[in-house]
Amino acid sequence: MHAEGGAVIANTPCDADHIRANVWKLGMKPVIHPHPSRKHPLKLDRAHYRLRYQVECCFHDLKRFRAVATRYDKAASSYLAVLHVAAMAL
């Protein structure tokens, strides 16, 4: 697993001890909503978890553009240009 950053933000299905251990091993903080079946729920950093919604809203807004959602451009550089145009329009 390769990742960079200070934290890994994930949904409830990713709340497993081995996933949390791998995240700590990478030197990052796991920000994962605890699964309701846990006997002793772990504390959730709500400030970091709120960022997840902002990122999801950004992707939702970008995917309203048909060329972004369907990825008509096969070349990575062309697709990146479409993303730039969509982001400027937002």
pLDDT tens digits for range 36-84: 888 888 888 888 888 877 888 888 888 888 888 888 888 888 889 988 9
pLDDT band at residue 18 using 50, 70 and 90 as cut-offs: very high
Give yes or no for residue 24 having a pLDDT over 80. Answer: yes
Give yes or no for residue 4 having a pLDDT over 80. Answer: no
pLDDT band at residue 21 using 50, 70 and 90 as cut-offs: very high
79 is written with which tokens? Answer: 């697709």
Q: For the whole model, what pTM was predicted?
A: 0.60
How far apart, in Å, are the Cα atoms of 81 and each of 24, 58, 66, 75, 90? 36, 17, 14, 10, 14
20 Cβ contact partners less than 8 Å away, ≥ 6 residues apart: 30, 32
List the beta bridge partners of residue 10. 32
Distance CA 14, CA 19 (A): 7
Region 9-17 average pLDDT: 87
